[in-house]
Structure 1
Amino acid sequence: MYQFKMEVAMAIVAWACTAVGQNLPLARSHDPGHHSRGNYDMTDLQAKLSSSAKIYYPNTTEFEAASARWSLLDEPTVNVVVVPGTENDVAETVQFANQRDLPFLASTGAHGSLTSLGKMTQGIEIYMTQLNTVTVSGDGKTATIGGGAMAKAVVDELWNAGKQAVTGTCECVSILGPGLGGGHGWLQGHHGLVADQFVSMNVVLANGALTTINAKSDLWWAMKGAGHNFGIVTSLTTKVFDIQYSNWAIETITFSGDKVGAVYQAANDYLLKNGTQPVGLINWSYWLNNPGADPNNPVIIFYIIQEGVTTVDSAYTRPFHDIGPLSIQPASGTYTDLASWTGIANNQPPCQKAALANPRFPIYLQSYNVDAQTKAYNVFANAVRGTSALNNSIFMFEGYSMEGVQAIPSDSSAFAFRSENILAAPLINYLPAGSTLDSQVANLGNKLRDILRDGTGMDDFRAYVNYAYGDESLQELYGCESWRQDRLKALKAKYDPTGKFSFYAPIA
């Protein structure tokens, strides 16, 4: 049995990831008089910031590290980076930017890859990494988390206290990054999405006001699914839970591409079961090149993950064994091992930045259409095999339990897509080489998404905003119901009438 080179295979499996936060030292070349010009003279702002805040200027190591993006396709242009030391520093920075009519963009790990981000052609980055505290309440029912806290830190802090929360799956994803767009995670089958756990939050609004909101605010609904459009969350109080299961198990089953139909038929029959996948069961899969396994075509890596056991139940794994995989790799451990098992831990390649373009083209599905899966695999394989410039690309399928998500009323939040069971997305990874290649990639990504959409029998499709490419309509990102669109637009007009938050999947 061969050993997969997962360091290579997973190098671009960063679809939900946000880069590891860094507490960077003050730039040695910090010199406002030399670097600041015109509206970017930061002297007045610096006088109002806390002693722990930092300002980084271009041509310094600290600026380059803080402003680096995971995807270089249509990345925003940053002229200066402000690193808040307190929540009020965020408010002061937004007020400063407004006074000088400067764009601003909050960032924790900079893994958002929407092309709309490129519309920021100048401005201030507000780098949230220092706002990273995690404090469990006295009654153990909630935790207050800084707006820049990363999932690994949150998971570990809560685990040490005997608690868990719904977070994103990557260790290097922040809580708020995915949460403001809904937020899928390992524990959603029990409790719902990341956003469903919100209790209250401190948020800096477009006018620079720092305010606390909860379910009594009309803005609360919008922050849970479309929050990127309405404010910068500086801290969050969220529900936490006692650890129910410490034991988890996974089986990684790898197939050659000719098994694509059989694999996804088995997934429908034995895992999804018409949308009734058990709460403690998760299926994920990737299509990617691995010449050590198959020198000619992408392989299918299929994960079956189960909680509360040391070995995944054979009722779930045996049908896949019977298909004839290339390899079977079981593992057991705890909840804290899930990220490393799936190649998305802090020290693994997806949590790094490699100066590549990484657009994604997401679509939600109810089930796997076997014919569409086969057709999509063939198109994908033809585009990425061999020496193709796209040969590090990956096609991702995430099949979480949806019981906890669907138990929450659909009208309770701006996240609109609670009835879907699978999140699929090609991630086209390549070295930037000009607009011609960018256009070819966009055509490929949308063609693959269209194949899957055709398999649903629907005229339109539904996309996860946190994975969006940037050409999706508001209906495709936030739901097609007219009442949803009207409510979002009314709240946008009330809280951000001049479009200060207009770079990440903006509401017109």
Structure 2
Amino acid sequence: MHQFGVVLLFAWALCAASCKSSPANCESSNELLQDLRTSLSSAAAVYLPGSGEFEVATTRWSKLDAPTPNVVVVPATEDDVAHTVHQANKCGLPILAFNGVHGAMTTLGRMDRGVAIQLGQLSNVTISRDGETATIGGGVLSKVVTDTLLASGKQTVTGTCECVSYLGPALGGGHGWLQGHYGLVADQFVSMNIVLADGARHTIDSTSDLWWGIKGAGQNFGIVTSVTVKVYDIKDRDWAIDTLIFGGDKVEAVYEAANQHLSNLPVDVINWSYWLNMPDIDADKPVILFYIIQEGVTVVDPVYTNPFRDIGPISSEPQSGSYRDLAAWTGIALDSPPCQKAGLANPRFPIYLREYNVTAQREAYDSFASYVGGADSPFTTSIFMFEAYPQQGVRAVDSNSTAFAFRDDNLLVSPLLTYKPAGEEFDGQVELMGNQLRDIIYQGSSRKELHAYVNYAYGDEKPKNWYGYEQWRQSRLQDLKQKYDPKGKFSFFGPVDVK
């Protein structure tokens, strides 16, 4: 059957089922059929439960509390998105837009019916004639943005992982390799096309009151179908990394050295580390995989690497290459295990820090090792992530000017507990474990506020943890929500209206 036949049958069935209980929300079936016939583009697709396409489209990176839509719409144009939202509104159905992988917040599971909009066909990247901006479709992956711009001698800030979308991280702020130069991904926005809760398309920029909320809490207010962002000439094509591996006995030494030598990072240096199992090195406990990355060189400056070599790593591997190599070096390329949909649950429990508390690092490591160490653990592929980026470009932007609030924090820390789903009781145990690990780090920080990166959030945090503790921030977000999405159509990811 031609896909429009599927679309029209879906419209009839959807309204017959959904509108029966709330006829005031729907027009007649004939009108809906005509509306779809005249409004959806020929390349749009609709997938229904039971079809292979539906199963593929709804398979998520994390199976924990995944949403369960009734239908998936794959728009081919920005107008298709607007029409789909309008159609969903007629039948009183909730809406969830998605693309890429890694969205794992448990609040997504609150969608137990509705319309999922898969944005993958909106995948264009167009550089302006003056070379100062690029327009990026709502479904473009970060790698496509990077590769397209690099081919023209340009770059911008994107998320680090190749399989995430460009806009997914951006709407929550968005950390990236180049943020030391230019700020967060959201800080690059110039203007955007957005479909609001009423199904209307708008072009907004800094003159809109919504602009503030979009830059950090953007998933709450609409579906961004394209965005125009600042792009920059490539300054340095060389990148280098030194990958050091330490045993768990070196936790205190490694993170004390990180505090001493890699705090307040220069604009061209990035430091990540993972705690993870590497059975060939240690069969019983996680090791510390420690990355020092530098831009503009072919060998990382010894001033950064020598303090860690002096600790006595198990191994040290220097490499040189280009920006395109960063994801593979750090294990987050398209073909890396973290980018695969393997039927696992992947909750994270993030916290921002200013510096490491070495005592807390040891306690967290020992606890983490007790959960994930050894081949018999159900969490054997889990990791504990520590991300440190240069902050100059981030702090150059006034914190009050965006919904992203945590510009003074230096470190993004998060356990990622990966496991095969085994029922709600087991999920509850994992929640306790993850929060216990995060709480060790939090208590060690001696801070009164728990700052959590919304894009990594587990889902049990509060809006103040995602968007800032200041009352004026919470009030402003609530006011924007009431103005632009009063019925809560977009409330499944980091919802600002959760008490």
1: CA distance, partners of 2:4 / 2:471: 53
2: CA distance, partners of 1:296 / 1:451: 22
Residue 347 of structure 1 corresponds to 335
Shift in Å at residue 33 of structure 1?
A: 3.5
2: CA distance, partners of 1:375 / 1:27: 56
Q: Within the alignment, does 1:295 sit opposite 2:283 as a pair?
A: yes
Shift in Å at residue 109 of structure 1?
A: 2.0
Residue 21 of structure 2 corresponds to none
Residue 111 of structure 1 corresponds to 102
Q: Tell me, what secondary structure is at the counterpart of 2:262?
A: helix
Which residue of the other structure, out of 194, 203, 224, is the alignment partner of 1:203? Answer: 194
Q: Within the alignment, does 1:499 sit opposite 2:488 as a pair?
A: yes
Residue 479 of structure 1 corresponds to 468
Residue 90 of structure 2 corresponds to 99
1:320-353 CA-to-partner distances (Å, cap 9, x unmatched) read 1111111111110011111111111112222210
2: CA distance, partners of 1:29 / 1:344: 40
Q: Tell me, what secondary structure is at the counterpart of 2:160?
A: coil
Q: Within the alignment, does 1:459 sit opposite 2:448 as a pair?
A: yes
Residue 357 of structure 1 corresponds to 345
1: CA distance, partners of 2:421 / 2:445: 33
1: CA distance, partners of 2:379 / 2:449: 27
Query: Do the aligned partners of 2:106 and 2:459 also contact (CA within 8 Å) in 1?
Result: yes
Which residue of the other structure, out of 312, 317, 320, is the alignment partner of 2:308? Answer: 320
2: CA distance, partners of 1:251 / 1:411: 37
Q: Within the alignment, does 1:120 sit opposite 2:97 as a pair?
A: no
2: CA distance, partners of 1:440 / 1:401: 36
2: CA distance, partners of 1:224 / 1:383: 36
Q: Tell me, what secondary structure is at the counterpart of 1:305?
A: strand
Residue 189 of structure 1 corresponds to 180
1:86-125 CA-to-partner distances (Å, cap 9, x unmatched) read 0000000000000100111001124211111110001111
1:454-473 CA-to-partner distances (Å, cap 9, x unmatched) read 11101331000000000101
1:407-427 CA-to-partner distances (Å, cap 9, x unmatched) read 111001000000000000000
Q: Within the alignment, does 1:177 sit opposite 2:168 as a pair?
A: yes
Shift in alpha-carbon separation, 1:36–1:349, aligned structure 2, 3 A: farther
1:175-234 CA-to-partner distances (Å, cap 9, x unmatched) read 110000000000000000000000000000011110000000000000000000001000
Cα RMSD between the aligned structures? 1.7
Q: Tell me, what secondary structure is at the counterpart of 2:403?
A: coil
More contact order relative to length (CA 8 Å, sep ≥ 6): 1
Shift in Å at residue 39 of structure 1?
A: 4.3
1:36-55 CA-to-partner distances (Å, cap 9, x unmatched) read 35246884564120111111
| Structure 1 residues 70-85: aligned runs within 5 Å | 70-85=61-76
Q: Tell me, what secondary structure is at the counterpart of 2:54?
A: helix
2: CA distance, partners of 1:200 / 1:452: 38
Shift in Å at residue 29 of structure 1?
A: 10
Shift in alpha-carbon separation, 1:27–1:388, aligned structure 2, 3 A: farther
Q: Within the alignment, does 1:430 sit opposite 2:407 as a pair?
A: no
Which residue of the other structure, out of 33, 57, 60, is the alignment partner of 2:9? Answer: 33
Shift in alpha-carbon separation, 1:421–1:436, aligned structure 2, 3 A: same
Query: Do the aligned partners of 2:48 and 2:71 also contact (CA within 8 Å) in 1?
Result: yes
Q: Tell me, what secondary structure is at the counterpart of 2:250?
A: helix
Query: Do the aligned partners of 1:384 and 1:393 also contact (CA within 8 Å) in 2?
Result: yes
Gaps of 5+ in 2: 19-28
Query: Do the aligned partners of 2:7 and 2:36 also contact (CA within 8 Å) in 1?
Result: no
Residue 41 of structure 2 corresponds to 50
| Structure 1 residues 8-407: aligned runs within 5 Å | 30=6, 33=9, 36-37=13-14, 38-39=16-17, 43-44=33-34, 46-47=36-37, 48-272=39-263, 276-386=264-374, 387-407=376-396
Query: Do the aligned partners of 2:101 and 2:165 also contact (CA within 8 Å) in 1?
Result: no
2: CA distance, partners of 1:280 / 1:291: 33
Shift in alpha-carbon separation, 1:29–1:359, aligned structure 2, 3 A: farther
2: CA distance, partners of 1:246 / 1:98: 48
Gaps of 5+ in 1: 1-24
Residue 4 of structure 1 corresponds to none
2: CA distance, partners of 1:145 / 1:282: 26
Give the TM-score normalised by the residue count of structure 1: 0.92
Q: Tell me, what secondary structure is at the counterpart of 1:347?
A: coil
1: CA distance, partners of 2:410 / 2:7: 52
2: CA distance, partners of 1:28 / 1:412: 45
Shift in Å at residue 59 of structure 1?
A: 1.5
Q: Tell me, what secondary structure is at the counterpart of 1:290?
A: coil
Query: Do the aligned partners of 1:27 and 1:56 also contact (CA within 8 Å) in 2?
Result: no
Shift in Å at residue 27 of structure 1?
A: 7.2
Shift in alpha-carbon separation, 1:448–1:52, aligned structure 2, 3 A: same
1: CA distance, partners of 2:466 / 2:356: 21
Identity level (%): 59
Give the TM-score normalised by the residue count of structure 2: 0.94
Shift in alpha-carbon separation, 1:419–1:71, aligned structure 2, 3 A: same
Shift in Å at residue 174 of structure 1?
A: 1.1
Shift in Å at residue 268 of structure 1?
A: 0.8
Shift in alpha-carbon separation, 1:123–1:259, aligned structure 2, 3 A: same
2: CA distance, partners of 1:45 / 1:313: 62
What is the one-letter code of the residue matched to 2:13? S
Shift in Å at residue 169 of structure 1?
A: 0.3
2: CA distance, partners of 1:122 / 1:316: 52
Q: Tell me, what secondary structure is at the counterpart of 2:434?
A: helix
| Aligned structure 1 segments of 4 or more residues deviating by more than 3 angstroms | 25-37, 39-46
Shift in alpha-carbon separation, 1:51–1:277, aligned structure 2, 3 A: same
1:222-254 CA-to-partner distances (Å, cap 9, x unmatched) read 000000000100000000000011000001100
